[in-house]
Amino acid sequence: MASNDSDPDLDRAEERIPAALKILVAGGFGAGKTTLVGAVSEIPPLTTEELMTEASLGVDDTSGVEQKTTTTVALDFGRITINADLVLYLFGTPGQQRFWFMWDELALGSLGAVVLADTRRLDTSFPAVDFFERREIPFVVAVNRFDGAHHYDAAEVREAMSLPPGIPVVMCDARSRASGKEVLSALVRHITESTAVPV
Amino acid sequence: MGTPEGHQGGPGDAGPLVRPYVMTWGRERSDTVQLDMISVVIAVREDVDEIALEPEQLQILRICRRAQSVAEVAAHMDVPVAVIKVLLGDLIARGHLLARAPFKSKSPVSRDILQAVLDGIQRL
Ligand SMILES: Nc1nc2c(ncn2[C@@H]2O[C@H](COP(=O)(O)OP(=O)(O)OP(=O)(O)O)[C@@H](O)[C@H]2O)c(=O)[nH]1
Ligand SMILES: [Mg+2]
């Protein structure tokens, strides 16, 4: 992007602009996604609306032609400055939308994902696991232990979710920054083992 | 005006926000730059010709004195990402903003970068 006739302002801007990475936080409705994003983010979580396309499920389709539907999706996200050249964004997938797992745009370009499992309703995280498995996006499962909920151990969660052996399962408290850091660290280590190229 | 960083674009901050269609002057997309939700943008200059720009453009430039993702600018301006992309594209085309594309999914991220991310997380 360097220009021939040097513009000091432009040069300085180029020096000050980091590149961004994205990690998704997925899981069922009310699993604690926004809470986890907020716990580790350096800014209070922000919300933004993005248009997502999904392949039609055949509803209202009289023409027989495959249709794409666009939906406005509210995403919340947080930010972690890694260094002067890198910034990490954490995006929570919308919990109340039943078909979020059809939106490829959400996953496009993401480094990896955290699937938050809600111990009161483990099954609500199945679609998220399927989503990342199918797209071969590295993910870890974080088990958010709500008070009074049945406490599964990692092996039970693995079994109940039919997780492949390589997928890390981490116990967490989505409200705690220390816990959130452990979850993200487990994910980044898992990404390093599964996908990274040398240098 | 306020501090470069302290700008939150809260309700009432810019008065009632212009309808998105009006804000983008009827255009629906920018042909020049392909912005992603996590493309990062930054203002090129501190001083701009205030007369030549619309109030919401000046507001965007203020927000962008510090590098921000497209998603952050959209959130601070309280408009959808699709709308902010058009507004940002225009400012980029006019040389007011510089954009940097995010890491692409198809190119695996290097170990150095992953190590930096891990260090950054652990410093939190
Ligand atoms: N006890 C307990 N409560 C939690 C925990 N994590 C989240 N909560 C609470 O659970 C509720 C839902 O948390 P959110 O973070 O909003 O969940 P979400 O997954 O973002 O929800 P949606 O976006 O609506 O799907 C909130 O009231 C949180 O305070 C936890 O680890 N323990
Ligand atoms: Mg939420």
ipTM: 0.87
**pLDDT at res. A170:** 96
Q: Which residues, in sequence order, are CB contacts of A2 under 8 Å at separation 6+? A: A14
Question: Does residue A2 carry a pLDDT above 50?
Answer: no
Using CA coordinates, name the residue in chain A closest to B99.
A17
pLDDT digit string (tens) for A154-163?
999 999 999 9
Q: HSE (CB half, 13 Å, CA atoms) of B90?
A: 18
Question: Does residue B96 carry a pLDDT above 90?
Answer: yes
Burial A130-139 (b: 16+ CB within 10 A, else e): ebbeeeebbb
Correct CATH for B18-104 of 3.40.50.880, 1.10.30.50, 3.40.50.2000, 1.10.10.10: 1.10.10.10
Between residues A147 and B9, which one has the greater pLDDT? A147
Q: Which of A34, A76, A188, A194 to mutate to test the interface with B (most CBs of B within 10 A)?
A: A188
Q: Do A75 and B113 touch (CB under 8 A)?
A: no
Residue nearest to atom 21 of ligand 1 (CA): A30
Between residues A146 and B29, which one has the greater pLDDT? A146
Ligand nearest to the CA of A116: 1
Is this model's pTM higher than 0.80 or not?
yes
A55 falls in which pLDDT band (50, 70, 90)?
low
pLDDT digit string (tens) for B48-82?
888 899 999 999 999 999 999 999 999 999 999 99
SS3 assignment, position A22 = strand
pLDDT digit string (tens) for A57-105?
544 445 555 667 788 888 999 999 999 999 999 999 887 766 676 677 7
Question: Does residue A46 carry a pLDDT above 60?
Answer: yes
Indicate the residue of B42, B69, B124 with minimum beta-carbon distance to A177: B124
Q: HSE (CB half, 13 Å, CA atoms) of B76?
A: 23
Per-chain mean pLDDT for chain A: 86
Q: Do A20 and B113 touch (CB under 8 A)?
A: no
Q: Do B116 and A83 touch (CB under 8 A)?
A: yes
User: Region A27-35: what's the mean pLDDT?
Assistant: 92
Give the residue extent of every domain in chain B.
18-104
Tokens of B23: 């804000």
Q: Where do we find the tokens 């109340």?
A: A96
**pLDDT at res. A179:** 97
Q: Domains along chain A? A: 18-195 (3.40.50.300)
